[in-house]
Amino acid sequence: MSLDPIYYAISWILLRWHSLWDAIGIPDGRVLGTNWAWILSIFFLVVTLRVILFPVFVKQIKSQRAMQALQPKVKALQEKHKGDRETLQKEMMELYRTEKANPLMGCLPMFLQIPVFFGLFHVLQHLKPALPDDMKQLYGWPLEQFNSAAQAHLFNVPISAKFGSTAAELSVLGANGTTVKILAAVLVLVMMATTFLTQRQMILKTGWAEDPQQLMIQRLMLYGIPFTLLFSGALFPIGVVIYWVTNNLFTLAQQQWVLRKFPPPQMANKGGAAARPAAGAKTAGAKSPVQPARTGGLFRRKPVEEPAIPVVDTKALAPKPGAKPVNPKKGARPANKPKG
């Protein structure tokens, strides 16, 4: 299947944003070693795609909430069919179908962005100054804008260069190998960190899944993807890494807004483990004499509660009418006097 429609779409978005910055008056020339018009075009390529994918993101959140609500039923099925994996999988698929929950919906936004990522990768790889003029005009690029994009830099590093660029590729781009490697390494580390934080933010807000399949997917996305970027990032052009980092930052902000506006229900097993008392905690029903109380955002101790003083019924202790007064000293044994 040809990806030409994706290449044309990405090129069209980049060119439209670049034309806008040119109309506003942002120069194509370098400022601080950077062609900001093209860097902003990549940044707003992310914004454009995220706006288009926002309905999908909302569906992702709803699906994750639905999966979260089903965890008690999933756990019950696991207990019921312990040791019978085939029956368990059938029952769980039937549960998801009945409740209209899709375990893969949580990954859908990422899957939809994969073709865009590879499309941008291809377009930036195509930006080579030495190409003949007829090749430069592929995917709807005007010759002038192609030459401008092919010379675009970020801090004196071409956006089409990468950490693993060969000496011949660097020579064609007129780039310094050491500068390229330093900037690419920094951006790849930022890419890894923001990818990890994006996944961690979502998991901390929605909790770890109890379904083994979902738990495996969560761990893969949290640890596996950032780790693979340590190696694959060396193959990404600088412009692609800029796109990835921008996308992560946008995702962090978007998730924070959605999760604040629509907070997930409290989970009994937040953090992935069933709720259990901490070491040294009292058993259920027992009350500690000192309890933490939140006031003004700080914790302070409540004073120890004093035991209640019993109420004495004075009427019951009063002598009845007509009764003889009782001498409390009468009948009491006198104290032994010392012998003289």
Q: Is residue 320 part of a domain?
A: no
| Position 175 in a domain | yes
Q: Which residues pair with 157 in a beta bridge?
A: 154
Residue 61 falls within a domain, yes or no? yes
Distance, CA of 184 to CA of 42 (rounded, Å): 16
Q: What is the pLDDT of residues 92-131, one digit of tens each?
A: 888 887 777 776 666 666 777 788 888 999 998 888 888 8
**Nearest C-alpha neighbor of 146 from the set 155, 157, 137, 154:** 137
Contact (CB, 8 A) for 238 and 154: yes
The radius of gyration computed from the CA coordinates of the chain, to the nearest angstrom, equals: 35
31 pairs with which residues across the strands? 34
Q: Which DSSP string corresponds to 214-247?
A: HHHHHHIIIIIHHHHHHHHGGGSBHHHHHHHHHH
- Does 312 reside within a domain? no
The pLDDT value recorded for residue 246 is 94
Residue 74 · residue 210 · CB < 8 Å = yes
Question: Which residues share a beta bridge with 154?
Answer: 157
What is the per-residue pLDDT for 293? 41
Q: Where are the beta strands (DSSP E) in the chain?
A: 153-154, 157-158, 292-295, 298-301
Task: Give the β-pairing of 153-154 and 157-158.
Answer: antiparallel
| pLDDT at position 172 | 85
Helix 54-69 to helix 71-80 angle, to the nearest 10 degrees?
50
Cα distance between residue 163 and residue 62, in whole Å: 39
Residue 235: name the closest of 160, 127, 153, 139 by CA.
Answer: 160
Distance (Å, whole) CA 41 – CA 14: 6
Which pLDDT belongs to residue 333? 54
Query: What domain range includes position 222?
Result: 4-261
| pLDDT of res. 270 | 42
What token pair was written down for 85?
């994996």
Phi, psi of 245 (to 5 degrees): -65, -45
> Is 340 a member of any domain?
no
Given this model, what pLDDT does residue 274 score? 38
The verdict on residue 300 lying in a domain is: no
Structural domain total, the chain: 1
Enter the tokens of residue 127: 């930006």
Taking alpha carbons only, the member of 158, 185, 155 closest to residue 170 is 158
What SS3 state is found at 108? helix
Q: Is residue 295 part of a domain?
A: no
What DSSP line would sit under 16-58, residue for residue?
HHHHHHHHHT--SS-BTTB-HHHHHHHHHHHHHHHHHTHHHHH
Query: Tell me, what's the pLDDT at 186?
Result: 96
User: Rounded to whole angstroms, how far apart are CA atoms 75 and 200?
Assistant: 23
Residue 232 resides in a domain: yes
Torsion of CA 47, 52, 53, 54, to 10 degrees: 80
Residue spans of the chain under pLDDT 70: 1, 103-109, 206-207, 209-211, 262-340
